[in-house]
Structure 1
Amino acid sequence: MPVIPLGESIPQDTAHAVSVSLPTWQANIGYEEGQDWVTSRMVTGYPRFFVHKSIDAFARDVAAAFGRPGQRAMLFATASAARRCLDFMRQRLSGQSSGQLSGQLSVVDLALDTSKDISPLLKQLSPTISGVIFPQESFPVAKQYWQHTGDGVSSRRAEFSHELFKHGQLVAVKEQQSHTPPEKLIRGPKRYSRTAAAGGTHTNSSEAKAVAPSSEIPEEANESFRFLEERFGRNLDLTQVAKAKSAIRRRIAGSLSGEADMNDEAKLDAKSNSRGMESLDETDVLLYPCGMNAIFNAHRALLATLGAYKSISFGFPYVDTLKIIQKFGPGCVFYGHASSEELDDLERLLKDGQRFLALFVEFPGNPLLTCPDLKRIRKLADEFNFAVVVDETIGTFANVNVLQYADIVVSSLTKIFSGGSNVMGGCTVLNPEGRHYHPLKKAFEEQIYENTYWPEDILFMERNSRDFANRVKRINTNAEAICEILRVNSTVKDVYYPKYNPSKPNYEAVRLPDGGYGGLLSIVFTHPQQAQEFYDHMDTAKGPSLGTNFTLCSPYVLLAHYQELDWAAQYGVDPDLVRVSVGLEETEELQQLFQKALAAAEAVSIA
């Protein structure tokens, strides 16, 4: 396949793509170091790490309307999420005087202006946006919250809401309550503006700024807005959204199989359950706008339910999972190898009286595909009364059943469940047979859960996931075929894959009868230069993310841990590791691509 140019979206020409092309080893380093030859060419990036241009454009208009010169905005779907970000920033900017800080950090809540004539569709949809406004120099702190929690708005929500904002349909909540005349219009295309000469009224500078022009919107703007509604109405019948959401949840619970869509009532009523729990139903599945947001809210629910205790991070973790339990609560104890010796040490701590909130673990881990002993972890949790949270994103519930050992299972639906690399999503699944089920369910229902998954994203996710199970089977087959090639190549030092790892018995303990070993594998070469040549000569998509329908390569450790490579190496994670997410290509075609890249690695002259 032709190499996707540096900085282009993966897939190409996809407005809401989840990955971005970094086609050479040096491009990945350039990205991590912020080098202009890379960053200036990026049309998009991985969400949470890269603020999508649709989101950034909206945030700039919000800052211009409600902030001061030199300020920026970060956008969230709800007022509560924005205030969590505000609290996070205040804690980390506490070196400033309280008076100075309060003057520089603020929140504006935007909602539909119900005083105007709006369509039934918009009334039902009732979009909201809350913006945290802060000085430009505080952006890295705001970005930490955005990245770690996944609370930020999706690019589709931002794109739609920005149009409402431009047309005066989305206004500051306090403004629509008081109906104060606007001080100024938003900064945006001039054709949407209404000047004072055309009848605009200015407030004095002490009054709050508003974003809504008067209801006398120019005809061009009206035409644009009608198109927006027509386009949205065609693609987003809200009754279909409810069905789509239900179909996703049932698909996750295991009671919707095959390629059934949300209108297949016969299969929607099916009682079979691949997770092996008859008591599990769709109400135990909660959907989130991304996988990290599912983890963040699982942690919040546990703190609300079980108390403010430290957690345990078991096994080498995805970077933001560790950051969540380190930064949002009392902290954590970290075990980076997921070994039986570390479980021995944990058991000693527990027997000495130390109490923990929860143990967070990935199954398998990323990027070494290590599989911890879930059975022993569950036994310790039951004996010493802590919860178990298992991230099954890589194993996938088409291959493994980990719910039997967990109180909460979390997963990034962005990955293989979707496969299309064009929509984000996440979920938590509560174990209805778990000892903490009832208090957790109550906490989610009464305190934690907010419906922030944007309807247009839901529709994309439902469509993408209809053939999830069949795609997983093919990807399993392809990944095993690639492993067989890699394992006999002279340049390859290690291949990490659940089928071949020493922890394979732990994987087999939860593998479903027709499950495979997944589509993710990692390669360590004998010499770093071989890894670089292999990567540069791989004729596949190359960029962040995993679980795509197409094969996707990444020098994962460089991207995820560039500032802490020595720390990662302590846990056996090689800085030059190449991670491969295997796709749906024809097996022979894929084998040829790998053989070609391996030949380039073999040609490297080692002194």
Structure 2
Amino acid sequence: MGELVPASVQHGSPSIPLAGSYTQPLGAPQPPNEPHAISVSLPTWEAVTAVMAGADWAISQLQTSYPRFDVHNRVKELHDAVLARFKHPTQTVCRAFPSSEAAERFISRLKRADPSFPVHTARFHLPSDAAPDMAKWAAFSVVLFHESLEGVAYEFWEWFGDGISSRHAEFCLYQFLFLNSESDQSEYWTVGPESHNLSAMTLSEWIDNATSYKTAIKSRLISSARSADPAIKPIGNGDVFLCATGMAAISVIARTLARTSEDSGAVVYGWPYSGTPHCVQGCGFKRYIMYGHGSKEDLDSFESLLVSGIRFTVLFCEITSNPQLSTPDLHRIRDLANRFGFVVVCDDTIGTSVNVDILPYVDVIITSLTKIFSGAGNVMGGSIMTNPNSKHYSTLTALLSTAYEDLYFPLDAKTIAHNSSDFAARVHKCNETALQIANFLESHPAVKSVNYPTMVPTAPLYERYRRPEGGYGFLLSVIFHEPESAMLFYDKLDVWKGPTVGTNFSISIPYSALAHAKEQDWAASHAVPKHIVRLSIGLEDYRDLSERVSRALREVEMREKMS
């Protein structure tokens, strides 16, 4: 008997050809014609600001979005199917999650925001005769809530990364007519309208081989993170925990550590991805502080706080920061952690473990696999790696063994495993081109400064952690002398434009206008100017990419001569 699986789910997404790719129309998916694209084209500065302001003319053209910033089309279809099954409850909104625990976390967030509105949950599942692995991935939970809470719902979806993935939603949709539902409300108890001899079903290849795909991902992460210091014990397979998104990985470790004491505290050091502080704050710590400048003075202040007797459970940082490309002083942070007993969690998504050797200094490494580890821009993922050399290792292992759920959908794992086969080679290629582009931009008279690990004040720190064969990464950002020049440069730059970084094609965005649309003055006070342009370098040939950059700069030169 055949499989209850659509062809698009069975075979996954094709690899992206390395051919020329240029600016896409507003709202187009990036990669083009990719049903699981993780980026959307925002080709002009005006389009970015209009989308962030919710302007109808811009929003109406969006065919997709970054999966955490909005609800993916496949997930919307699943939500619609649920609401149709439940006879379209009035003013009710639906959100789907891969587990009941994730749904409960969402419910808690909604109730804290406004306990006056009812919130209900339902769990969909195959009948009992289905194969266990098929039943596991066909099951999902939904939360039904009043539309007035939709703003809170979007924040949760963005900051915690717990929502169901687009491929997982597509699979559940294909099974939907066979699914029964149970609920805390009698009207949401339903029986699937179709019957099938599920015991005779053949398991999909990607479900049957899920363990091998995940093992392949873990092996690449372990190999890449291995320290050059022979005294440092390498990470083991059991020390790697895969998550549906990078933010889900951060929220797992943050939630876990927040529960370790009634007086838990968290520090975010440096300027992290904009969602990280929201996620950490929302995970239940009793105390929270952010040192957003990531400076020596910030560490001095933090040390004074610790010496005064105030204790913290964990410090989160990034190597390198986005979009300043700064490097934290991990030696000093490690010393403080050893003296005062807190856990050091470092996100290496931008620096990459190919370039930097941080295992001797941190307790936990977080990585967004969505970015350059995948490169293809067609799948989400995240990872947590616990350091077996850490004095917190046994505690962290015990805590994660109870708190962690393997919710990483097998087809997402298969896609990541396929995409990441040449991870290290792609990083080295992007390193080479990005350094050349950064040097080229820095030499232009219209450019005030370039943020790149070699060009920022923390450059000596980066060298302390850079592997002998490592480079400086794929990401840079540009600050022009004149805001109008930044806007024109972005508009004329002929690359992909939209959210995300680390794609195989270069991609750009006016970072503050997107990530800090409602707090640009605050971001500017932390060295993220309103008119900063971020550029993630892909696999294009340097001559091709430098010519595209040159054409945009020539437009800037003409404007500045005429002004």
TM-score for both structures, normalised by structure 1: 0.85
Helix, strand or coil at the partner of 2:365: strand
* Structure 1 pair 604–133 and aligned structure 2 pair: CA distance change class (3 A): same
Cα distance in structure 2, aligned partners of 1:522 and 1:141:
31
Contact 2:138 2:171 in 1 (8 A): no
Contact 2:103 2:142 in 1 (8 A): yes
**Aligned equivalent of 1:332:** 288
Q: How does 1:272-283 map to 2 (within 5 A)?
A: 277-283=232-238
Look up the equivalent residue of 1:465 and give its one-letter code.
S
TM-score for both structures, normalised by structure 2: 0.92
* Structure 1 pair 377–58 and aligned structure 2 pair: CA distance change class (3 A): same
* Structure 1 pair 274–39 and aligned structure 2 pair: CA distance change class (3 A): farther
Helix, strand or coil at the partner of 2:535: strand
**Aligned equivalent of 2:473:** 518
**Aligned equivalent of 2:17:** none
Q: How does 1:245-260 map to 2 (within 5 A)?
A: 245-254=214-223
**Aligned equivalent of 1:202:** none
Structure 1 residue 549: deviation in Å? 0.6
Structure 1 residues 82-107: Cα deviation after superposition (integer angstroms, max 9, x where no partner): 0011011111113x3xxxx3xx2011
2:105 is the counterpart of 1:84 = yes
Cα distance in structure 2, aligned partners of 1:121 and 1:439:
30
Cα distance in structure 2, aligned partners of 1:514 and 1:307:
44
Structure 1 residues 160-184: Cα deviation after superposition (integer angstroms, max 9, x where no partner): 101211x2x2221469xxxxxxxxx
Structure 1 residue 136: deviation in Å? 1.0
Cα distance in structure 2, aligned partners of 1:386 and 1:2:
46
- 2:121 pairs with 99, 103, 107, which one? 107
2:134 is the counterpart of 1:122 = yes
Structure 1 residue 278: deviation in Å? 3.0
Structure 1 residues 453-494: Cα deviation after superposition (integer angstroms, max 9, x where no partner): 000000000000000000000000000110121111010001
- Using CA pairs under 8 Å that are at least 6 residues apart, name the structure with larger relative contact order, 1 or 2: 2
- 2:211 pairs with 223, 242, 252, which one? 242
Cα distance in structure 2, aligned partners of 1:6 and 1:472:
29
**Aligned equivalent of 2:5:** none
Structure 1 residues 336-390: Cα deviation after superposition (integer angstroms, max 9, x where no partner): 1100011111111111001111111111111101111010011001101111110
Structure 1 residue 307: deviation in Å? 4.9
Look up the equivalent residue of 1:170 and give its one-letter code.
L
Look up the equivalent residue of 1:156 and give its one-letter code.
R
- 2:320 pairs with 360, 364, 387, which one? 364
Helix, strand or coil at the partner of 1:553: strand
- 1:454 pairs with 409, 429, 435, which one? 409
Q: How does 1:58-457 map to 2 (within 5 A)?
A: 58-66=78-86, 68-94=89-115, 96=116, 101=117, 104-114=118-128, 118=130, 122-123=134-135, 125-165=136-176, 167=177, 169-173=178-182, 207-215=186-194, 233=204, 236-254=205-223, 277-305=232-260, 307-329=262-284, 330-446=286-402, 448-457=403-412
2:535 is the counterpart of 1:566 = no
Cα distance in structure 1, aligned partners of 2:22 and 2:45:
17
Aligned residues: 538
* Structure 1 pair 444–207 and aligned structure 2 pair: CA distance change class (3 A): closer
Look up the equivalent residue of 2:53 and give its one-letter code.
E
Structure 1 residue 209: deviation in Å? 3.2
Q: Which runs of 5+ in 1 are unaligned?
A: 176-205, 257-271
* Structure 1 pair 464–137 and aligned structure 2 pair: CA distance change class (3 A): same
Look up the equivalent residue of 1:209 and give its one-letter code.
Y
**Aligned equivalent of 1:483:** 438
Structure 1 residue 113: deviation in Å? 1.6
**Aligned equivalent of 2:40:** 20
Helix, strand or coil at the partner of 2:163: coil
Cα distance in structure 2, aligned partners of 1:435 and 1:121:
36
Larger radius of gyration: 1
Structure 1 residue 402: deviation in Å? 1.5
Cα distance in structure 2, aligned partners of 1:284 and 1:543:
34
Helix, strand or coil at the partner of 2:306: helix
Cα distance in structure 2, aligned partners of 1:401 and 1:511:
6
Contact 1:307 1:357 in 2 (8 A): no
Look up the equivalent residue of 1:244 and give its one-letter code.
Y
Look up the equivalent residue of 2:437 and give its one-letter code.
I
Look up the equivalent residue of 1:208 and give its one-letter code.
E
Helix, strand or coil at the partner of 1:506: helix
Larger mean Cα displacement after TM superposition, 418-427 or 316-325:
316-325
| Percent of aligned pairs sharing the same letter | 37
**Aligned equivalent of 2:67:** 47
Structure 1 residues 194-218: Cα deviation after superposition (integer angstroms, max 9, x where no partner): xxxxxxxxxxxx943344344458x
Cα distance in structure 1, aligned partners of 2:56 and 2:137:
40
Look up the equivalent residue of 1:28 and give its one-letter code.
V
Structure 1 residues 213-251: Cα deviation after superposition (integer angstroms, max 9, x where no partner): 44458xxxx9xx9xxx88x83xx3434221111011011
Cα distance in structure 2, aligned partners of 1:526 and 1:215:
64
Contact 1:112 1:126 in 2 (8 A): no
Contact 1:544 1:554 in 2 (8 A): yes
Contact 1:493 1:525 in 2 (8 A): yes
**Aligned equivalent of 2:16:** none
Look up the equivalent residue of 1:22 and give its one-letter code.
L
- 1:586 pairs with 517, 534, 541, which one? 541
Structure 1 residues 397-439: Cα deviation after superposition (integer angstroms, max 9, x where no partner): 1101122211111010000000000000000110111111101
Larger mean Cα displacement after TM superposition, 406-415 or 316-325:
316-325
Contact 2:134 2:207 in 1 (8 A): no
Cα distance in structure 1, aligned partners of 2:101 and 2:263:
20
* Structure 1 pair 273–373 and aligned structure 2 pair: CA distance change class (3 A): closer
Cα distance in structure 2, aligned partners of 1:388 and 1:425:
22
Structure 1 residue 61: deviation in Å? 2.3
Cα distance in structure 2, aligned partners of 1:42 and 1:55:
16
* Structure 1 pair 279–457 and aligned structure 2 pair: CA distance change class (3 A): same
Considering only aligned residues, what root-mean-square deviation do their CA atoms show, in Å? 2.1
Helix, strand or coil at the partner of 1:107: strand
Contact 1:65 1:210 in 2 (8 A): no
Q: Which runs of 5+ in 2 are unaligned?
A: 1-20
Cα distance in structure 2, aligned partners of 1:82 and 1:376:
39
Cα distance in structure 1, aligned partners of 2:418 and 2:534:
28
Helix, strand or coil at the partner of 2:96: strand
Look up the equivalent residue of 2:458 and give its one-letter code.
S
